Each structure stands twice: as structure tokens, then as C-alpha cells.
Structure 1
């Protein structure tokens, strides 16, 4: 034990009995050459299989150089017996249980297999700086196109859930798809039947949505859709 550490311990305040166990764990995590107030034991746990956690979300692009106003991201993390871990650096998770410290060993091969499962449904790693999803940490992935996102949500998402993945869809995620209930058309005639207003829309979960504002928003965000060359390719 260094002289500096010994001096700090000599002037440290008394530890209340009800906090002795917690203090012992914290001190053990920092230095193991000093006897803790409570005798602690350690147990290595190496037989827990990781579960994959995937969070889907859309974030606003703040850079003026961004090609699109939004980024869509999938954030991958893992949990071991309910204890989450999002970084790739730590090799174990320390869990305090009474006077015992459980050292849960991460399973790199199993985590790699889960990443590969994500790549098989069209995802690729996000390279370079990217806006993170608020309040979510983990490894960033993305689809190469809007069509890729739609295909994943329609088929790949349930496939991963069937494999035991826990998937969270953040509010505002642009590719959260809902089945259209039915179409509707409202016609309002003007005085003397000289003109009329037509509103065409759809019903989703009992809520009516007019198509005109939706189409205008799509065209504003994707002006290339009206480009003559792009339109010719879609014929």
C-alpha cells in the first residue's frame, strides 16, 4: 500500500455499519491490497449466453453537409442475466450480490454470431461520426437504403424476435409500419355545384390521414422523385 493511500485512509470518516458492505465492494474495485471492512468473495461465472438488444430510431441531421435531414439507426447491445453491456472493451461484468462479487465473463464468439445475424438481414456498420440515438448506447448499424429498412421491418424484424432478440422501436422511427385499414374519399360541393373539394386518404388504427400532406412531405424530402430521368427509370 502506498504512503499516499495510507494517509487518505487514516483521515477518512467512519463508515456506518449499513454502508460497510457497499463500501467494501467499491474499495475492492479500486484497490485489492487493503483489507475491506467486510470479507468479500469472488465467483467467476462463464456459462451465461448473451441476449441481443436492438433499438431502432431516427434522428435529425444537424450538419448542413448531410445528404438527408434524418438518419435511421439500429443500436446493438447485449445483456447477461439481465445485466446490460454496450461496449466492446470490457471482458467481464462485475455484479455485486451480498458479500460476493460475481464476475460474469462475456462470450465474444456468441456476441460475434449475433452481429453476423444482423448483417444477414441487410445491416452494415456505421463508419465515422454519426448522431447517436438519445439515451441509447451500443454499436451503430444502418440499412443501405429506405427499401432496405422497409424490407427489414416487414420480414427481418420478426425473424430476429423469433430468435429471442429484444427489439425496441423508438417513438418517431420513420419505418414503423402499420397496416392500412381502408381508403376514404370526402367530397364537398361548392355553391351551385360550380366546384368541389376532394379529400382522399387512408385509415390506420382508426385514425384518418389525408394523402395530400403526406405526398407533399415526401416530395419535399425527396425532390429527385420528380426528376424526369428518375421517373423514366420507374416506368
Structure 2
């Protein structure tokens, strides 16, 4: 999902290189003070302010597009802060969960992945709820499209599908897999099977069906 709030036809990339001579201009005009005031201690917002100021717009249509978005932000400051807070929350969840995937045990890796998925779903539900409550206050083309994307992509069916996936990943009924016997009767060619997948595995096959409870 792309926000498209800074440009009407592309996403905003704050990590791109600045135009030639930007560092000199920033120093000459003491723009770091301006950026710091705009960011209020937020390093990400500092980078956004720096990139936005140093890469000005030239097309009148793009300028009006961004000004309309800014007007919505000023009129709905608390709602915009809530949306930004949700985005930051998602990033923090990802950072805290990252180290869980270094565990060497499959069960622990699965548990960490499932926990991460649950946390992200909670954030997405919060985003959808915020959009439902505040979308009517926004009138710019940028925010109208943004909220429309949220409504379309984060609908009830989407959350129902995610819930079903989470239930399946708990493997309440065990795990079905097939395995062949190799040298020394060691298991080889392990294949995780889907229940009722039509593979037709039977006891007469060269592989052994194993149901792990």
C-alpha cells in the first residue's frame, strides 16, 4: 500500500540523494535549525523535512496536490498524528520481533512468526478503525485516495482470511507429512502435506505417512 500523499503519481523516498549543492545551501541558510524545529526530535521526520525542502516541486498541479494534503493535515492534526503513531508502532513491532527469527528450533521460529503476524494484524485493525472514524473529515485528493485504499484492502474479508491463517498455523490437529526411508532406515525426502490435498498417500506407497500429534 502506497500513501501517495507527497506526490500524486509516486511514493516519497526520503533516502534518495539530495540535489547537488544542497549541503552548502543548508549550511549557508542554517536550515538544520528549521529541520530540527519541524521534526521535534524525530529522526525520521528530520530526514523527511530535509528531503522535502531541498527537492522542491515545479508543476503547479503537483504543488496544489501537496498543498491540499497539507491543508487536510492542519485541519485534522490529531488524526494525522494518530496515523503516524500507528505507522511507528508497526516499525517498532518489527524491530522487537526481528531477533526471534535467529532461534535454531523450528517450533520457536514458527511461534515468533505467528506472534509477529498477530501483532501486525492488531496494528492493521487499528489503522482501519482510525480510517473509518476520521476519513469523512478529509477532502484532499491525496487523503481521499489513501482512505479508499485502506477501506478496499483492509476489509472484513481480509481480516477473516488472516484469522483463518493464524488458526491453521497453530496446527491444533497435528502436522501431516510424508517421509521415505534412506540408508540405515534414516528418514529422507520429508514433505509437509496439506490435509485432503488429494495426494493419495497410502500405506503401500514407498513413503511412510506420519501424523505428529
Quickly name the TM-score band, shorter chain normalised.
under 0.3
Q: Which has the higher helix share?
A: 2
Higher strand share: 1
Please report the TM-score for the alignment, with normalisation by the length of structure 1.
Answer: 0.25
TM-score by length of 2: 0.27
